[in-house]
Structure 1
Amino acid sequence: MKHGSDLTISYTKIGDYYFPNIALPPDAGDIGIWGRRRKEFLRKHRPILFNELLLTGELSRYLVQVNQEATERLENLIEGMKAAQGITEDLKARDPMAWVGAMNNIRACAEEIIYAELVYV
Structure 2
Amino acid sequence: MQKNIYNEQTGISYTLQGDYYLPDLTLPAQKEERHIGIWGQRYLRYIREHKKALYTSLLTSGKLQSYLADVEEQAQRLFDRLMKQRAELEGITETLKAGNQMEWIRRMNALRSAVTETVNAEVIFV
Same fold by TM-score greater than 0.5: yes
Gaps of 5+ in 2: 1-9, 16-20
Higher-Rg structure is 2
Is residue 98 of structure 2 the alignment partner of residue 87 of structure 1? no
Kindly provide the CA deviation profile for residues 61-110 of structure 1, in whole angstroms up to 9, marking residues without a partner as x: 00001111111110000001101101111111111110000000111100
Give the direction of change, closer, same or farther, for the CA distance of 1:11–1:69 in structure 2 (3 Å limit).
farther
Match of 2:54 in 1: 49
Gaps of 5+ in 1: 1-9
Equivalent residue pairs, number: 112
Higher relative contact order (CA 8 A, sep 6+): 1
Tell whether the 8 Å contact from 1:31 to 1:63 is kept in structure 2 after alignment. yes
Match of 1:65 in 2: 70
Kindly provide the CA deviation profile for residues 30-82 of structure 1, in whole angstroms up to 9, marking residues without a partner as x: 11111011001100110100000000111000000111111111000000110
> What SS is found at the alignment partner of 2:114?
helix
Q: TM-score, normalised by structure 1?
A: 0.85
Match of 2:14 in 1: 14
- Give the drift of 1:20: 3.7
State the 4+ residue runs in structure 1 displaced beyond 4 angstroms: none
Is residue 50 of structure 2 the alignment partner of residue 36 of structure 1? no
Identity of aligned pairs, percent? 30
Is residue 112 of structure 2 the alignment partner of residue 113 of structure 1? no
Q: TM-score, normalised by structure 2?
A: 0.81
> Aligned-residue CA RMSD in angstroms?
1.7
> What SS is found at the alignment partner of 1:61?
helix
Higher strand share: 2
Give the direction of change, closer, same or farther, for the CA distance of 1:105–1:11 in structure 2 (3 Å limit).
farther
